[in-house]
Amino acid sequence: MSTTQKTAFQQADSLAADLARAPRMLVIDGKLVPAASGRSFATFNPATGAEIAQVAHGESEDVARAVAAARRAFENPAWRRMSAVDRSNLLLNFADLIERDADQLAVLECMDNGKPVSMTRWVEIEGSIRTFRYYAGWPTKLGGETLPVSPRSGARILNYTTREPIGVAGLIVPWNYPMSMAAWKVAPALAAGCTVVLKPAEQTPLTALRLGELALEAGFPAGVVNVVTGFGEAGAALVEHPDVDKVAFTGSTEVGKLIVRAATGNLKKVSLELGGKSPQIVLADADIDAAAASIASGIFFNQGQTCTAGSRLYAHASIYDRLLAAIADQAAKLKIGNGLDPETTFGPLVSEEQWDRVSDYVRIGQEEGAELLIGGTRPADLASSLDKGFFFAPTILAGAAPSMRVVREEIFGPVLSALSWTDPEDLVRQANDSDFGLSAGIWTNDIKSAHRLADAVRAGTVWINCFNMVDNATPFGGFKQSGWGREHGRQGVELYTETKSVWVNLS
């Protein structure tokens, strides 16, 4: 065992001892509080199946307390009238504290979600720090404009617009990227001047609670950042609450639709980042080795539990076999195991439920006629300490067809469904034949083909000769049933604002 390896395991041991002492508490109105019912629920390590902590079981009463605190904080001049520079500084403080605790947070996320610590460190923690620093730049830039109105009366009229914070924002996030999804919502909401109630997924509540604690330490006034852990009912209570002005959600398309229906009570503004079934399109002239490495990473990264996962492969018939073999070679290089080992590049799925779901899809794909090329079950040769972990091997289903469920539905696991094509017109039709439109990858060395395909695919993000590039500066979101609105960049912060138009008679 290397020194770094010891450190991650040792940190996990000391965190586990600390977590075992008492249930983790909700963050409401600037304080750590138990759930009103006094109840808690267990969160588990997906690599071992062992319980790691009890967490306060927030329900509608707790959501109501949190929303009331967020409303008071929103009306409080200490926040409402805080200068833009001071708001920026608080966001920078927040980022600095995440950076201070980065090692511990990376291990905590690895324990709660299962993903390798190298990835929690890079994607979740570094990504969140960058998100807070990026949005710290926005309070001082968010403004309206003066518009040249032309009143018929000839009166001297001034018109200007302002961008106002929308109010109390309910933020509901999933388990696949727990901390970064929270940061993607909390940071722009605070930059806009909103107050927030964050509801993390039941499988991964721990880093969200730490974020709530760090917000207090950073100096945000009481009630500006509240965190309520619990189950879907807590999320539903937040969406239904009449004093919540906006809901931002990342998760399944099914729950996204429920949220839209529930938000109609007070016509909350809703933004949604939902599922995907992203095509990876490979032309005959592509660099096969580069494409294979990136396609493997595009589907196997985070064990396939990524909304943008490139889960439908459309390879030109002339290179189909060679490409599949190269992707399988890449899969064989993955080091599967406990995410606390710094060598590990592929961890377990998040839960038994998710394991069963992925396994069912692989069975369904084979029943529909696809051929299991690799994987399809629990990987062999795992350490006995991982016997109860939810590990699922990287999987390729070859010979898939457009009508198959494994080509049409989001599996959310490490399963690539591979199809071949020869007719470019039919390729575009097949790539767009999906309820989803989150992202697409295109692999070719011909610039015209690349741009033609980028123009033709219906997706919120198109990657050409690359995949899964995401940056705080550039909008992220989906066409069709992949969502409403765009996170990141100006559009991301404007999701949390309303425009006010002011008319002044100067005559």
Q: Which residues bind ligand NDP (CB under 6 A)?
A: 172-176, 199, 201-202, 231-232, 235-236, 239, 250-252, 255, 258-259, 274-275, 307, 357, 410, 412
Can you point out the beta strands (E) in 408-447?
415-421, 436-437, 439-443
- Tell me which residue of 234, 387, 434, 394 sits closest to 305, measured CA to CA: 394
Catalytic residue among 59, 109, 240, 307: 307
Catalytic residue among 273, 410, 487, 494: 273
- Tell me which residue of 101, 87, 260, 98 sits closest to 189, measured CA to CA: 87
| Shortest Å, Cβ 61 to ligand NDP | 16
> Residues with Cβ < 8 Å from 133, sequence gap 6 or more?
91, 92, 95
| Shortest Å, Cβ 41 to ligand NDP | 9
- Tell me which residue of 415, 402, 374, 438 sits closest to 314, measured CA to CA: 402
Closer CB to ligand NDP, residue 33 or residue 258? 258
| Shortest Å, Cβ 451 to ligand NDP | 28
| Shortest Å, Cβ 438 to ligand NDP | 8
- Contact call for residues 109 and 179 (beta carbons, < 8 A): yes
Q: Rounded distance, CA 142 to CA 84, Å?
A: 9
Closer CB to ligand NDP, residue 67 or residue 201? 201
Environment class of 81 (CB within 10 Å of its CB; exposed 0-12, middle 13-18, buried 19+): exposed
- Contact call for residues 102 and 211 (beta carbons, < 8 A): no
> Beta strand pairing status for 279-282 and 439-443?
parallel
Closer CB to ligand NDP, residue 174 or residue 389? 174
Structural element, H or E, at residue 100: helix 84-100
Closer CB to ligand NDP, residue 251 or residue 337? 251
- Residue type for position 358: V
| Shortest Å, Cβ 411 to ligand NDP | 7
Ranked by CB distance to ligand NDP, the top (closest) residue is 235
**Phi, psi for residue 94 in degrees, rounded to 5:** -55, -50
Q: In what order do the strands lie in the sheet with 483-484?
A: 31-33, 26-28, 225-227, 195-199, 168-172, 246-250, 269-273, 483-484
| Shortest Å, Cβ 213 to ligand NDP | 19
Closer CB to ligand NDP, residue 238 or residue 450? 238
State how far the alpha carbon of 488 is from the alpha carbons of 96, 477, 492, 493, in Å.
20, 9, 4, 7
Closer CB to ligand NDP, residue 172 or residue 340? 172
Question: Does the annotation mark 487 as catalytic?
Answer: no
Per DSSP, helices labelled H in 241-369 are 253-262, 288-300, 320-332, 352-367
Q: Any idea which residue has 């494994």 for tokens?
A: 406
| Shortest Å, Cβ 25 to ligand NDP | 17
| Shortest Å, Cβ 476 to ligand NDP | 11
Kindly report the number of other CB atoms within 10 A of residue 75's CB atom.
12
Closer CB to ligand NDP, residue 258 or residue 364? 258
Question: Does the annotation mark 202 as catalytic?
Answer: no
- Contact call for residues 336 and 382 (beta carbons, < 8 A): yes
Q: Any idea which residue has 């409080």 for tokens?
A: 76
Residues involved in catalysis = 273, 307
